[in-house]
Amino acid sequence: MARYTLTVRDGPRVERDRFDALEAALDALQARVLTLGARPPRKPVDIRTRRFEPVAQVVARAELSGPERFLPRIRAGIDVRGDGSAEAWTGRASRTVVQQQDGESALAALRRVLTER
C-alpha cells in the first residue's frame, strides 16, 4: 500500500503518483521539479493595477503528503517560479518557506527538513 502521494500541478494539468518510501517520493519530486524548472522564463503579466514579474508567478507546484492518508504528517512541496527558480515550503493551510543554507538548493533544503523529522 502506497504511503506517500506526490501531486504535481502544472497549469491546468494535475498528476498524482504514489510511493511506498519517502526517499523514492523525494527522488520523483526532484526529477519533476528539475524538468519543470528547465523551461524558458515567462514574461511579466500586466493587469490594470499591477504588474507580476516572472519571479512572482508560480507556474507549477509539486506537493508531497503522507504517510497517513487523512491528516498527513508530512505536507511539503516546491513552487516553481516563472523565472525558473524554486522555493521549498512546508505546512498545509499556513505554509512556511524552508530556509536554504549556504550553497543549498531548494530541493536539498526540503530533503534536509523532511529527513530530519
Model pLDDT, residue 56: 85
Q: What is the DSSP letter of 110?
A: H
Confidence of residue 1 (pLDDT cuts 50, 70, 90): low
Q: For 55-114, how does the pLDDT look when each residue is reduced to its tens digit (9 = 90+)?
A: 888 899 999 998 888 888 899 999 999 998 999 999 988 899 999 999 999 999 999 999
Confidence of residue 14 (pLDDT cuts 50, 70, 90): very high
pLDDT at 2 over 80: no
Q: Which class for 95: exposed (0-12), middle (13-18), buried (19 or more C-beta within 10 A)? A: middle
pLDDT for res 18: 95
pLDDT, one tens digit per residue, over 28-50 is: 999 999 988 877 778 888 888 88
- How high is the pLDDT of residue 98? 95
Crossing angle between the packed helical segments 22-37 and 106-116, to the nearest 10 degrees: 170
CA distance 57 to 5: 24
Give me the mean pLDDT over the 19-28 stretch: 94
46 vs 110: CA distance, rounded Å: 32
